[in-house]
């Protein structure tokens, strides 16, 4: 077990290393000079000021040197300084992190509450009206892109009905409802499909027949035998979904003007603020790899049949 975790940690380092190389190469061969962008086109910049700025942001060094110093700072958890705000990327991102975390956690709660529950009920009452309803709803959620779900919800609940705020965060927790539903929609549908699939498969297993045969009630069989044996793939999927939420968060935060990491990333891309782009994406990749590691290890704890080598 310990050996497996160590090996996975090493693999994770490798992935992070590869990801930062790709990012770094892409961001620093991008045409355009960030300092010119910052000062505005056509504005003359005193050469000594320019040199000072270049030195401040390592832009006077060669790309490999820049990468090495970036990696050195990264190992200490330092993501550098923003071109636009002249503040540490760590500070900027940590201000936004809370908002993205709030949105992600709310979405995960929705996925568990609705996705898992709907999947279980659909599997237990297979081919019932409810099952058909779940199938239709999940097909709809898979077919309608997050962007369009967001716009549709805004239109109905914020503009036409006026029940919930259109965007922003000033309304407190009520402002969280629409973005969280939007971000959770696709994964809730996939979770419920997966839950329904694995549970219906488990319900055909011999030990379920045995449990019925020894006289247990349907409720006990479902909760103690079927559910426990079919929840593991769902937990794995939830982990992966959580790790990948930043991709959806970019869209949702843009649509709802939600001041999180996704919105910061989009803003930084438009203003060529490479340190923030680099920081936000590195952060996203890090979360993804870490969550996957935790999921894989948890997998072995939950299912003793799985041997980690």
Partner 1 sequence: MTDQAVPAAPPVGEITLEAGAGGFGGAESQAAAVGGMTRQTQFGNIRRRFLRNKLAVLGLVILTIVFVTAVFAPIIATHPPTAQDLNITLQGPSSEHWLGTDELGRDVFSRIVHGTRIAVTVGLVSIFLALVIGVVLGSVSGYLGRGWDALIMRVADVFFAFPLIIGAIIIILVVGRGVAPVIIALGLFSWATIARLLRSSILSIRESEYVEAARSLGAGKWRIVTRHILPNSMAPVLVYAMVSVAGAIVAQASLSFLGVGVPPDVPDWGNMISSGQKYFGFKDYLWFFPSMAVVFTVLGFVFVGDGLRDALDPRLR
How distant, in Å, are the alpha carbons of 47, 66, 106 from that of 60?
Answer: 13, 9, 44
Nearest to 29 by CA among 21, 40, 38: 21
3-state DSSP helix/strand/coil % of the chain, to nearest 5? 75, 0, 25
- Map the footprint of partner 1 across residues 241-270, applying CB under 8 A: 244, 246-248, 250-251, 254, 265-266, 269-270
- What's the closest the beta carbon of residue 19 comes to partner 1, in angstroms? 5
**What is the token pair recorded at 120?**
């279980």
| Minimum CB distance to partner 1 smaller for 187 or for 211 | 187
Residue 203 touches partner 1, criterion: CB under 8 A: no
Please identify, among the stretches 48-56, 86-94, 121-129, 149-157, the one whose residues bind partner 1 according to the rule CB under 8 A.
149-157
Token pair belonging to 59? 């832009």
Q: Which of 18, 72, 98, 168 binds partner 1 (CB under 8 A)?
A: 18
To the nearest whole angstrom, how small is the minimum distance from the Cβ of residue 162 to partner 1?
11
Q: Confirm or reject binding of residue 298 to partner 1 (CB under 8 A).
A: no
Read off the tokens for 109.
Answer: 């709660």
260, 96 contact by CB (below 8 A): yes
Q: Considering the complex, what minimum distance in angstroms separates the CB of residue 244 from partner 1?
A: 5
User: How far is residue 98's CA from residue 103's CA, in Å, rounded to a whole number?
Assistant: 9
Q: Is 132 one of the binding residues for partner 1 (CB under 8 A)? A: no
Structure-block tokens of residue 104:
């992600």
**Is 81 in a helix, a strand, or coil?**
strand
**Strand extents, DSSP E, the chain:** none
| CA–CA distances in Å: residue 73 to residues 57, 69, 138, 281 | 13, 6, 44, 16
Tell me how far, at minimum, the Cβ of 51 lies from partner 1, in Å.
26
Stretch that binds partner 1, among 35-43, 50-58, 91-99, 282-290 (CB under 8 A): 282-290
Q: Supply the minimum distance, in Å, between the C-beta of residue 210 and partner 1.
A: 21
Query: How far, in Å, CA of 26 to CA of 30, rounded?
Result: 6
Q: Which residues in this chain contact partner 1 in the complex, by CB under 8 A?
A: 11, 14-15, 18-19, 22-23, 26-27, 29-31, 139, 142-148, 151-152, 154-155, 159, 197, 244, 246-248, 250-251, 254, 265-266, 269-270, 277, 281, 284-285, 288-289
């Amino acid at each position: 077990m310990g050996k497996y975790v160590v090996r996975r940690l090493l693999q994770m380092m490798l992935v992070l290393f590869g990801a930062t190389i790709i990012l770094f190469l892409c961001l620093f061969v991008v045409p355009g000079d960030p300092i010119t962008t910052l000062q505005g086109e056509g504005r003359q910049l005193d050469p000594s000021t320019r040199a000072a700025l270049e030195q401040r942001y390592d832009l006077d060094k060669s790309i490999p040197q820049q990468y090495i110093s970036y990696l050195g700072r990264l190992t200490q958890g330092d993501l550098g300084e923003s071109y636009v705000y002249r503040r540490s990327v760590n500070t900027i991102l940590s201000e936004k992190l809370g908002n993205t975390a709030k949105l992600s956690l709310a979405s995960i709660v929705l996925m568990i509450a609705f996705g898992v529950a709907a999947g279980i009920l659909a599997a237990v009452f297979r081919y019932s009206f409810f099952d058909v309803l779940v199938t239709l709803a999940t097909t709809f959620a898979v077919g309608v892109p997050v962007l369009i779900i967001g716009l549709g919800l805004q239109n109905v609940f914020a503009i036409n009905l006026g029940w919930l705020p259109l965007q922003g965060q000033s309304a407190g927790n009520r402002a969280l409802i629409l973005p969280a539903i939007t971000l959770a929609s696709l994964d809730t549908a996939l979770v419920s499909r997966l839950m329904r699939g694995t549970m219906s498969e488990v319900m055909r297993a011999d030990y379920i027949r045995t449990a019925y045969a020894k006289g247990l009630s349907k409720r006990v069989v479902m909760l103690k035998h079927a559910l426990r044996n079919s929840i593991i793939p769902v937990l794995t999927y939830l982990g992966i979904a959580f790790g990948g939420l930043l991709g959806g968060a970019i869209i949702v935060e843009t649509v709802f003007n939600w001041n999180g990491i996704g919105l910061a990333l989009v803003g930084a891309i438009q203003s060529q603020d490479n340190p923030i782009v680099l920081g936000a994406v590195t952060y996203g990749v890090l979360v993804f790899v870490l969550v996957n590691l935790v999921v894989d290890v948890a997998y072995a704890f939950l299912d003793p049949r799985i041997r980690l080598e």
